[in-house]
Structure 1
Amino acid sequence: MAAKKGGLGKGLDSLLVNKVGTDHATTATKEKAVSTAKKKSTKKETTETPDTMIKISLVEPNREQPRKHFDEDGLLELAESIKQYGILQPLLVQDKNGYYEIIAGERRWRAAKLAGLKEVPVIVRNLSEQQIVEISLIENIQRENLNPIEEAQAFRRLMEEFHLKQDEIAERVSKSRTAVTNSMRLLKLSKQVQQMVIDEMISTGHARCLISIENEEMQHQIALRIFDEKLSVRETEKLVRKLLQEKDTPPKKEKDPVLSAIYADLAEQMKRIFGTKVEIHQKNDEKGKIEIEYYSQEELNRLIELIQSIQ
């Protein structure tokens, strides 16, 4: 997929240009000199030959890079393209004293191995751990390579390990602060539901509806129902809202049948005494109230006089 135009490209360039410093400036000068020399040597070349070719066996992926899942079919397609045209964009790596660790370009490296290449073009950079994470994250976001959970985990790592604030992360990846916040909220889901998002069984819209449910097992059960019944996001919102309302409503305590019979008998006795309808309402906590009905002012006066005489 072609890289998106806009702020992300600028963000990646700024990381490579502004943060690397003298090493990068020196390398840039070298690249310019090599390019000029090659242009003079031949007019038939349409692409610039990479600075360095390294044995593919000396290149290893970064275990901490945000992207964990690679589409096998996509890798095979890229491998076929590499067989025909080679690797058009060098891998960005850093020297780890014995091997080269990939900063950006792991997908190209994997496809190159499938294509049977013995060497790959690389550009060597010396970057800090934070710069490596930022570049890996930005490159993957540019190419829409990360699934929503991988993206959220990368944002969390920038916060926890490098103490970046959400607005700082948003600026680096050219997203809104709200988008970063909503992304990280997905990590509140259970591991099972997160995997369903990764597997595209449910959308991020569905997943966000489930965040308000604290019980992880219930989250998973509803997620399975979303998948099985092909519920829309709106239908999922209604379902979750209903479940939360039922949760907040305390269950009614069933009345004791023995007590109910006793109260009914007492109500009948009082009816005979007062000469009007009497009801005893039993509450869940064994408290209650007595209702004595009257149908005229005269009858009310009679009931008052009767109660006063009992005293």
Structure 2
Amino acid sequence: MKVLELKLTEIEPNADNPRRDFPAQHLVDLAEDIKKNGQRNPILVSLKDGKYYLIAGECRIRAFRLNGDQTIMASVYNDLSEEAFDTLAIQDNIFSLSLSPIETGIALLHAQNKHKRTQEDISKRMGKCQKWVSNSLSLVKKIVPEVQELIRNKTLKQSFARLLKRVPRDRQKVIADYIVQNRTCMSGAEFYIKQQLDQSTITPDVRRLIAVFSKGAFILGQISARYSDQKQELPKGLASELSKACLEYSKVKDQLTMWILHSAATDQDLQNKSN
């Protein structure tokens, strides 16, 4: 590797640049810093087939253009393999803290798919632990793009991603919007998500039970209409059975009433926490 002064027009852009965002104010500040203090670190390029391909340093190139500069200092690598090229691009951005968590996840997933690598392979190449790789990948594998965008533009804090990964993909955006709109704290979001997950599991069973319960109430009403309202005697032995059924029905009714009241109180508690 050697350091050369290259013309900006000689450098081919990196089509797979891990960094996706280039905020205008950041570029203006960087350009001003370079004008005042000079270029602190050379950009990274790969020389292949007589052309210079940018590995890392897109922001610095844009800042130099803002300043009207024509050349830039570059560390030149010769004939890098595609995998070595991609690894350097990700590493440089990670170590300079240039990538958002979502950009990191997208870059690692692209490298994993492109080069057919395991998480363990990637962790060794990046000099990171496997858990870090797993967490970064899960942001883009388990979180829907709409929620990724909320995290990327800082509308939603990344810390909420840990909770949203447990939510079915078709419900993540709705819950994320609720968290953002209500400015929900972490504990409030955890409580809300738990309630939503419990509800999605319990609701079908509860509805079936309500249907059975309603059918039982209808049958008891029919018995009442046939015998009690017409002042007819119950068949022998049926009186004790009916008495037991009515007692059980009364117990279930009381339990259901308590559950409804508890659910209403839980909803109110959730509203208080989110506010």
For residues 38-96 of structure 1, give each alpha carbon's deviation from its aligned partner in whole angstroms, at most 9, with x where no partner exists: xxxxxxxxxxxxx4222212223201121111232121111012223332322211235
Query: Structure 2 residue aligned with 1:174, among 127, 133, 137?
Result: 127
Matched, 1:252 2:204: no
| 8 Å CA contact retained: 1:270, 1:278 | no
TM-score by length of structure 2 reads 0.75
Within 5 A, what are the aligned runs for 1:47-66? 51-66=3-18
How many Å separate the matches in 2 of 1:224 and 1:207?
A: 13
Shift in Å at residue 189 of structure 1? Answer: 1.3
Report the AA paired with residue 231 of structure 1. Answer: T
Q: State how 1:1-311 maps to structure 2 within 5 Å.
A: 24=1, 27=2, 51-97=3-49, 99-126=51-78, 127-187=80-140, 188-216=142-170, 218-249=171-202, 250=204, 251-253=206-208, 254=211, 255=214, 261-265=221-225, 268=228, 271=234, 273-274=236-237, 276=239, 278-279=241-242, 291=245
**Unmatched 5+ stretches in structure 2:** 248-275
**Cα separation, partners in 2 of 1:72 and 1:267, compared to 1, 3 Å:** farther
Q: Is the 8 A contact 1:68 1:150 kept in 2?
A: yes
Q: 1:210 to 1:266 in 2, by over 3 A?
A: farther
User: Which one has a bigger Cα radius of gyration?
Assistant: 1
Distance 1:242 1:211 in 2: 15
Deviation at 1:270, TM superposition (A): 6.9
Secondary structure of 2:155's counterpart equals coil
Stretches of structure 1 lacking an aligned partner (at least 5 in a row): 1-23, 28-50, 281-289, 294-311
Counterpart code for 1:234 = S
CA contact (8 A) 1:52 1:123 kept: yes
State the alpha-carbon separation in 2 of the partners of residues 270 and 114 from structure 1. Answer: 99
Question: How many residue pairs were aligned?
Answer: 235
Distance (whole Å) between structure 1 residues aligned to residue 162 and residue 246 of structure 2: 53
Residue 202 of structure 1: CA displacement? 1.5
User: In the superposition, relative to structure 1, how do residues 157 and 271 fare at CA in structure 2: closer, same or farther (>3 Å)?
Assistant: same
Alpha-carbon contact 2:12-2:51 (below 8 Å) kept = yes
Same amino acid, percent of matched pairs:
27
1:277/1:292 contact within 8 Å kept: no
